Amino acid sequence: MKKTLIPAIKKSFSAIGLGCVTFGREIDQQASFKIMDYAVEKGITFFDTASAYADGASEKIVGEWIADRHIVSDNILIATKILPPYNSKTIAGSVNQSLQRLQTDAIDLLYLHRWEQTVEDTDALEAFNDLIKVGKIKMLGVSNFNDGQFENVLELQKRLGISLFQSIQNNNNFAISDISKKIVEICMDHDIKMVTYSPLGAGFLTGKYKNGVEEGTRFSLIKGHQDIYFNEMSFQRLGELQKIAAVTGYSTSHLALVWALHQPHITSVLVGGRSRKQLDQALSAYNFNARDIFDELELI
């Protein structure tokens, strides 16, 4: 049966989330506003940014959009992220800076952008909890944690009797997945929302990097992507996807999006880009329903 992307209830996750990593880095404010407006038009109610994106420029652009579209933005769940170190001295300052850039009094969902040992410090966890108590943060989440790191910090929160992390955001696509079976079990046991990003592997699964990296592409702008994807296993997975594309007639981009958007137990998949066309591609993949293709992609 065909699925329809229905606008979610106020301040809730939508099945497709808008990743704002390109804002201020690859596209300007005017283009970013157009994408955000279009996302709302299509029923997307979850936007994701970070203090690290374009040195805060992404947060600023989202904040300007919130201020300009305040009636519409009241229904949008905004997530942002802060970088380590996580300690009582720096956490409050980092959160306040994000609040200023976002032009809001409270962050709907604050992610710890990546794991660092300092997250296991009691003072750090209590500092985050204090910000929840005073209303500056509504929900906490983690990003780029493995299952052991995630499990350990949840156990610490339980022992301290403080609010638990309510969401995890990890990379997950046909080539590389940081959503392990253990993470799924942890999330199911604790009613934790699973958000994934990079369904196209930052463009890797389109096949455009098979013969190298051209200037101006995502892999040239962020060379860390090459460390993640330029390996034998990832190229093997790309080859498998290209074989399925050749047999079925669908593009590797479409198939990769179908795979990511139809994974079980995932709350939301973040889709970013430079144009509305990329959102349309994701919407098409979300509404796609062909059991033979799902079988080829090992979705059933």
pLDDT value for 278:
94
The neighbouring-strand residues paired with 112 are 82, 142
Q: Name the token pair of 296.
A: 């080829």
Which range among 149-153, 190-194, 203-207 shows the weakest confidence by mean pLDDT?
Answer: 203-207
- For residue 7, the model assigns a pLDDT of 45
- pLDDT per position as a tens digit, 18-58: 999 999 999 999 999 999 999 999 999 999 999 999 999 99
What pLDDT score does 4 carry?
A: 45
* Phi/psi of residue 112, nearest 5 degrees: -80, 120
Q: What residue type is assigned to position 180 of the chain?
A: S
Q: What does pLDDT average to over the chain?
A: 93
Q: Is the CA virtual torsion 163, 105, 40, 27 positive or negative?
A: negative
User: DSSP string of the chain?
Assistant: -----PPPSTT---SEEEE-TTBTTTB-HHHHHHHHHHHHHTT--EEE--TTGGGGHHHHHHHHHHHHTHHHHTTPEEEEEEPSP--HHHHHHHHHHHHHHHT-S-EEEEEE-S--GGGG-HHHHHHHHHHHHTTSEEEEEEES--HHHHHHHHHHHHHHT-PPP-EEEEEBSSS-B---HHHHHHHHHHT-EEEEE-TTGGGGGGTTTTT---TTSHHHH-THHHHHH-SHHHHHHHHHHHHHHHHH---HHHHHHHHHHT-TT--EEEE--SSHHHHHHHHHHHT---HHHHHHTT--
- How far is it between the farthest Cα atoms of the chain? 57
Span 285-290, mean pLDDT? Answer: 96
pLDDT one-digit tens code per residue, 153-196:
999 999 999 999 999 999 999 999 999 999 999 999 999 999 99
φ, ψ (nearest 5 deg) of residue 189: -70, -30
C-alpha to C-alpha distance for 129 and 140, rounded to whole angstroms: 9
pTM (two decimals): 0.93
Give the Cα separation of 68 and 61 in Å (integer): 11
pLDDT band at 221 (very low <50, low <70, confident <90, very high): low
Q: Where are the domains of the chain?
A: 16-200+263-291
Between helix 232-248 and helix 252-261 the angle, nearest 10°, is 110
Q: What is the pLDDT of residue 8?
A: 42
Angle between helices 29-41 and 57-68 (to 10 degrees): 60
DSSP state string for 54-77: GGGHHHHHHHHHHHHTHHHHTTPE
Fold classification of 16-200+263-291 (topology level): TIM Barrel (3.20.20)
Is the pLDDT at 2 greater than 50? The verdict is no
Pull the structure tokens for residue 288: 């796609």
Question: pLDDT tens digits, residue range 241-283?
Answer: 999 999 999 999 999 999 999 999 999 999 998 899 999 999 9
Phi, then psi, of 266 in degrees rounded to 5: -85, 130
**For position 300, what pLDDT does the model report?**
65
- Is the pLDDT at 234 greater than 60? The verdict is yes
pLDDT in tens, 113-136: 999 999 999 999 999 999 999 999
What are the C-alpha distances in Å from 175 to residues 52, 203, 208, 283? Answer: 25, 11, 14, 21
